[in-house]
Structure 1
């Protein structure tokens, strides 16, 4: 991967990963594994290497199925994302993630991932996130 160390206007980077569970696991068991087994081991490593934030966007099958039915009516050519969760890391630079995955404890934190995660289907992305509408209703980051 090319070196990515600069930020756009001081913004941190967003590094995302989608995960699909292996078929022998239920969606609920998969998310429980991430939250109760993986994260307690992973979060101290993330903090140690300067990761600024971590969020887990969970996509339960019942919501994906409902979305698929609705979108078939209004945007029938669109594909519905098919994954169990979307992980978003907020990082100061790509070196932070390189440091995380090279940490010897990361192997411990991810020791069971091949039993749970369909690694061949994972999708990653790197970019910036700019809010324009806050939960308070305030519009931001637009020229007035």
Structure 2
């Protein structure tokens, strides 16, 4: 039986000296080009950045198991990918979550995982 992928999420607040727009630009244009190869190397199945009002961004990773997070975090290339993080991210406010995500309504309009 196949194991259901996990959702690993991180909320980030920018450091106050940066605007929200500059923060998102930093993530997308500077951080992600370095981070995505590390994600692919270690089997991250999906990655999304959501823009919210309560915090500056919500990062959602889809991973096959927790070991992937450990592998990414210990990769020397990940250290390069997060080298500027302390200048941009207020890590005292970060929230990390791990769990399963069960879809019920797909973007196609299909309803799934409902009892018959």
TM-score over 0.5 (shorter chain): yes
Equivalents in 1 of 2:67, 2:3: separation in Å? Answer: 16
Report the Cα offset of residue 136 of structure 1. 2.2
Q: TM-score, normalised by structure 1?
A: 0.78
Structure 1 unaligned runs (5+)?
A: 1-7, 65-81
Give TM-score, length-normalised by structure 2. Answer: 0.96
Greater strand share, structure number: 2
- Taking only aligned residues, the RMSD between alpha carbons, in angstroms, comes to 1.3
Superposition deviation, residue 114 in structure 1? 0.2
Aligned residues: 116
Of structures 1 and 2, the larger Rg is shown by 1
Worse-superposed segment, 128-137 or 112-121: 128-137
Q: Give 3-state SS (helix, strand or coil) of 1:18's partner.
A: strand
Q: Which one of 49, 57, 82 corresponds to residue 110 of structure 1?
A: 82
Take 1:39 and 1:99, find their aligned partners in 2: how far apart are those partners?
Answer: 17
Deviations 1:4-62 (A, max 9, x none): xxxx9621000000000000000000000000000000000010011111100112xxx
